[in-house]
Amino acid sequence: MKYRNYVIGFIALAVCFNCNSKKLDVVTQSKKDTGRPEPNVLLLLTDDLGWQDVKAYDIDEPSPYETPNIDALAKKGIQFWQAYSPAPTCAPSRCAIMSGNHPARAQKTHVVGGAPPTVSGHKNVQRIMDPWYSGRMPENEITLARVLQQNGYTTGHAGKWHMAINHHAFPQPEDQGFDVTTSDRGATSPQKPHRLTDFATTNATDPYRLDDNGFPYHQNNQDALNFLKENKQDPFFLYYATFLVHAPIHTRSKALLEKYCKKLGVPFPTDPEHWEVEGQNNPYYCAMVEMLDYYVGQVFDYLEATDDPRWPGHKLIENTYIIFTSDNGGMEKAHGDIVTDNYPLDKGKINAKEGGTRVPLIISGPGIKSGVASEVVVNGLDFYPTILSLLGIEKPKDKLLDGADLSDLLLIDPTDSKLVKDKNGNTRSEMMWHFPHASFQSTLRVGDYKLIRNYDYKSNADTPEFELYQLYSTRNGKVKRVDIEEAHNLATTYPEKTKEMNDQLTSILTEMEASYPYYNPFYKNDLEHKETVPTVLSDSKENNQVVFKFKENGAAVVKADLIYTTNGGHRYEEWFKTDATVNSNGTITAILPKSTTHYIINLVDSNNFLISYPEIPANKTLRMNKQKYSEYALNN
């Protein structure tokens, strides 16, 4: 459906349903733009940029990072103060944004994935272990890019992908609906031999040569600009996924490094391996944030200055929706560095507390008001349905989208949360995150309150099973900050509310068929019921059916999964999961999928312990020995 036809249809609907006058005003204005072609979309996803890493988001203590171009974008659109990523880590957020599927539903809840479940560290030290989770989006996923491509858009990807078990593993962008894809790391490529050497120069032969403003040449950004220059004659969708500001934490601009050392009042580094000053005091990272701002500013400037070949007399910026955000919260520590601080939010990347999931989000474009600050709670999962709606493209038949369409919010009143509807047409009041890894949490936000369910609480005196926080107090449309620090646990103060929200969380996770973490039967310290775990006695195979005999030692086997791979021993060895059948005679049967090369059986007992047969070493052991999982599995 073309944009102008969408507007006409929108007017009819507005009249039929007596929509409020604000929406009619927006539609009327759009109708005046009689020659307006289909809008373009720039989805700019930064990497590990925290909520407090953008100057425009200063709260409490001022940020030292200088982001004039991003701040200027905030004044030209809507700045969301309660925006979230779909997950606290990179890959699940990226897959969720592109597929529209919640990480829990997609079984894509962390980076990498596609491996048999086992503990990450030492075999007998970890109480709890990750479940199996997918390494990627399915190759036939109806991605946002694929839908736009099918509706006449030229689709481009520039930068990071990481929606497979490796940056270069299948499927790649061209397999998921992108016409053009580039992935050069540019100036973020590691400096050699270390980050206090190999700075960019003005030498014409330097691949990172400094420009007139003293910034290194950055191929990742140039690729984004090239796509715009080469495809502006058609409606375009550009997914610009920056490598900045992800580790390694370094800068090729010595001048920027010196600038921030002076600004922060810290000495110029002498140890290239560590930076241990707490807070937002890492001069390398400061330089990276300013570099990010500079490069995306070049993209904004290009849209501002370039005539729209499809709309004479207008610039590209006038007909381009820009969504600027991050894949997760800021990374607080990495590779011997204290990187950044999400304060006043608690924690950061790899944790489902506010610091790990709250992100900057700015949206601008046709019909969207300028300089609006919004406290409405939104999520990266909302981008897919919102973009389709803004472009007048129908949702694919039978495609389930877990996000909400924000187009009414954007075009009518960005401060009215009642305009955000869930997939059932009701005002959305809840948002859920599921992270059965590292911090082992599921979280649910309902209105002003947030519940955290901790899975690793047994035998851990420092971790309660539930945490309940009142983040805000909202009355008569006015939002007042209460405890965004998540410092005051109200779970024991409000037990009924805690139970109600926990039941609601269970209901959502059950509907999505989420996978949960398991207890480790090899844990060396006391752990209730570990002595009752079942034992696998033997295995046999006939044709494509495998049979496992097991013995129960006090705890019943309640579930069994066949974990299998079709490319055992390959560089990108990838494992999948399918159900096995637990029989009453002490056996488990499973059918090996076509092309299976290796397989493992996982048993889950009534106390949620996971038993693997054959036993798989810890991930750390496999990495140290440079081994594959298939070396310990059964051969087909």
Domain holding 227: CATH number?
3.40.720.10
User: Which structure tokens are listed for 567?
Assistant: 């490319």
Q: Are residues 111 and 214 in the same domain?
A: yes
- For the entire predicted model, the pTM comes to 0.94
- Report the relative pairing of strands 535-542 and 545-551 from DSSP bridges: antiparallel
- Say if 27 falls within a structural domain: no
Q: Are residues 437 and 319 in the same domain?
A: no
Q: Are residues 349 and 475 in the same domain?
A: no
Provide the domain count of the chain.
Answer: 3
* Consecutive 10-residue averages of pLDDT for the chain (636 residues): 42 40 48 77 98 96 95 98 98 98 98 95 92 95 98 98 92 97 97 97 97 97 98 98 97 98 97 95 98 98 98 97 98 95 97 97 98 98 98 96 97 97 90 97 98 90 94 94 98 98 98 97 94 97 96 97 97 96 97 97 98 95 94 97
- Say if 510 falls within a structural domain: yes
Q: Are residues 214 and 316 in the same domain?
A: yes
Question: In this predicted structure, what is the pLDDT of residue 4?
Answer: 37
Residue listed under structure tokens 């709606």: 389
Q: Are residues 96 and 237 in the same domain?
A: yes
Domain holding 463: CATH number?
3.30.1120.10
Among 395, 411, 430, where does a domain finish? 430
Q: Which residues contact 215 (CB under 8 A, 6 or more apart)?
A: 253, 256, 291, 294, 295
Q: Are residues 246 and 342 in the same domain?
A: yes
Among 392, 412, 430, where does a domain finish? 430
Domain holding 605: CATH number?
2.60.40
**Residue 334: Cβ-neighbour burial (10 angstroms; 0-12, 13-18, 19+):** middle
Among 430, 452, 485, where does a domain finish? 430
Local structure of 128: helix, strand or coil: strand
User: Which structure tokens are listed for 160?
Assistant: 């990071």
Question: In this predicted structure, what is the pLDDT of residue 33?
Answer: 54
Q: Are residues 549 and 446 in the same domain?
A: no
- Report the relative pairing of strands 320-326 and 333-334 from DSSP bridges: unpaired
Q: Domain span at residue 468?
A: 432-519
Could you give the C-alpha distances from 482 to 49, 418, 474, 479, in angstroms and in order? 24, 22, 10, 9
Question: In this predicted structure, what is the pLDDT of residue 459?
Answer: 73
Structure-derived torsion over alpha carbons of residues 78, 183, 206, 253, reported in degrees to the nearest 10: 40
Q: What is the DSSP string of 233-301?
A: TS-EEEEEE--TTPSS---S-HHHHHHHHHHHT-PPP--TT-B---SS--HHHHHHHHHHHHHHHHHHH
* Side-chain half-sphere exposure of 417, counting CA atoms within 13 A: 22
Q: Which residues pair with 42 in a beta bridge?
A: 238, 322
Q: Are residues 294 and 424 in the same domain?
A: yes
